[in-house]
């Protein structure tokens, strides 16, 4: 197995699906000759031509809306939002049209929307968000947030295969920073199945995306005192309740960590579920570590305050251990 970056794994997965299935096409802004803002589709237009790698005008609404129509007519579109933040322009077409099409019309809408998300490099308020929780609230959408290169590829393949609209959140801070072994052949990682990133006995951390690595660093630093289990959810819709509850029942303590803002964040849903279904197994109140309820700031010291840091997780874990 070759070692690949998270970004290369996404690119490879997409290319393989396009080679395998002629119905798959990609559409987005600057994705053709330019290869995409982050170069995920570099070289794709040469290989597949301009009608399967469509450079679209600045039209997020029509990009997503046209994908819905093409999907109903039998194609398998994969749209790229240049930044996840721009999906707000397509809210109506995604949330009102695509997400409800199956329910009201009985038709499948096999579209994938790729969403480069997250902060960590001063993208500022419109280029750093993690809006996954807003969409996790919408019945009819599926949501994946891979953390590792292997999952990035396998989940993308599953997302393209899935007959529903899938939002694929790829974390920009992981693109070139995270490398790992990725199988060359085609494979899938099932939607809705969590992964235990690190096994432990004393505290469970439930997280996803880039925060998996923040949690991992905190767990390493506490290694001699506290055995931390990290559950990487991988999908938020559907999400793997069973894996979370199984881990919490083992450790009796849980911390939920996300880069999205705190209030109404998906962490609240996880906490509520643990309280409803595993209250008896808890030895301490479930803790949340999340971004504060502000836009994502630009200046590095401000952004560092916004994004949950290893120290924040350490403090949360120590509180839980001492409770």
Partner 1 sequence: MAIAEQKGQTLSPERLKEFLREMLLIRRFEEKVEERFRAGELPGFLHVAIGQEAVAVGVCRALDDGDVIASTHRAHGHTLAKGTHPNELMAELYGKVEGCSHGYGGSMHLYDIERGNLGANAVVGGGLPAIVGGALAFKLRGEPRVAVAFFGDGATNIGTFHESLNLAQLWKVPALFVCENNHYAESTPAKQQLPIEDLTKRADAFGMTAMTVDGQDVEAVYKTTTKALKHARDGKGPVFLLAETYRFTGHYVGDPQVYRPKEEARHLRETQDPVEKLRARLDVSEEDWNELDAEVTDLVEGSVEFAKNGTDPKPEDALKNVYA
**Residues found near partner 1 in the complex (CB under 8 A):** 25, 51, 56-57, 59, 61-62, 64-75, 77, 92-93, 96-97, 101-110, 139-140, 142, 163-164
DSSP bridge pairs for 116: 170
Q: What backbone phi and psi angles, to 5 degrees, belong to 302? A: -70, -45
**Is residue 144 within 8 Å of 159, Cβ to Cβ?**
yes
- Cα–Cα distance, 64 to 82 (Å, whole number): 13
**Smallest gap from residue 26 Cβ to partner 1 (A):** 13
**Smallest gap from residue 111 Cβ to partner 1 (A):** 9
Our CB check for partner 1 shows the closer of 31 and 271 to be 31
- Please, how many CA atoms are within 13 Å of residue 317, restricted to the half-sphere of its CB? 31
171 is catalytic: no
Q: What backbone phi and psi angles, to 5 degrees, belong to 182? A: -135, 125
**Smallest gap from residue 102 Cβ to partner 1 (A):** 5
Our CB check for partner 1 shows the closer of 106 and 301 to be 106
Our CB check for partner 1 shows the closer of 148 and 237 to be 237
The single residue listed with the structure tokens 């962490």 is 267
**Smallest gap from residue 247 Cβ to partner 1 (A):** 26
Our CB check for partner 1 shows the closer of 107 and 299 to be 107
Residue tagged active-site, from 127, 171, 197, 258:
127
**Smallest gap from residue 20 Cβ to partner 1 (A):** 17
| 70 contact partners, CB below 8 Å, separation of at least 6 | 25, 77
**Smallest gap from residue 272 Cβ to partner 1 (A):** 20
Q: Active-site positions?
A: 127
């Amino acid at each position: 197995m070759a070692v690949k970056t998270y970004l290369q794994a996404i690119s490879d997965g997409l290319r393989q699906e396009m080679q395998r299935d002629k119905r798959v096409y990609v559409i987005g802004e600057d994705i053709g000759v330019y290869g995409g803002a982050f170069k995920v589709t570099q070289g794709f237009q040469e290989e597949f031509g301009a009608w399967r790698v469509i450079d679209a005008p600045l039209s997020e609404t029509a990009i997503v809306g046209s994908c819905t129509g093409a999907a109903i007519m039998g194609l398998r579109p994969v749209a790229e939002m240049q930044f996840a933040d721009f999906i707000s322009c397509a809210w109506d077409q995604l949330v009102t049209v695509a997400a409800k099409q199956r329910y009201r019309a009985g038709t499948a809408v096999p579209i994938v929307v790729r969403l480069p998300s997250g902060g960590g490099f001063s993208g500022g308020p419109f280029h750093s968000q993690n809006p996954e929780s807003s969409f996790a609230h919408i019945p009819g959408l599926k949501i994946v947030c891979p953390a590792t290169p292997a999952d990035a590829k396998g989940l993308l393949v599953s997302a393209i295969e899935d007959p529903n609209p899938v939002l694929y959140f790829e974390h920009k801070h992981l693109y070139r920073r995270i490398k790992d072994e990725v199988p060359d052949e085609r494979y899938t990682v099932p939607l809705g199945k969590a992964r235990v990133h690190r096994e432990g006995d004393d505290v469970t951390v439930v997280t996803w995306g880039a925060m998996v690595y923040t949690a991992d660093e905190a767990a390493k630093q506490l290694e001699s005192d506290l055995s931390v289990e990290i559950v990487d959810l991988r999908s938020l819709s559907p999400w793997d309740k069973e894996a979370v509850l199984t881990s919490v029942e083992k450790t009796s303590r849980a911390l939920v960590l996300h880069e999205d803002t705190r209030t109404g964040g998906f962490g609240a849903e996880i906490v509520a579920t643990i309280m409803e279904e595993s209250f008896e197994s808890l030895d301490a109140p479930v803790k949340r570590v999340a971004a504060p309820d502000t836009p994502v700031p630009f200046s590095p010291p401000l952004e560092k305050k916004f994004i949950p840091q290893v120290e924040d997780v350490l403090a949360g874990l120590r509180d839980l251990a001492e409770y």
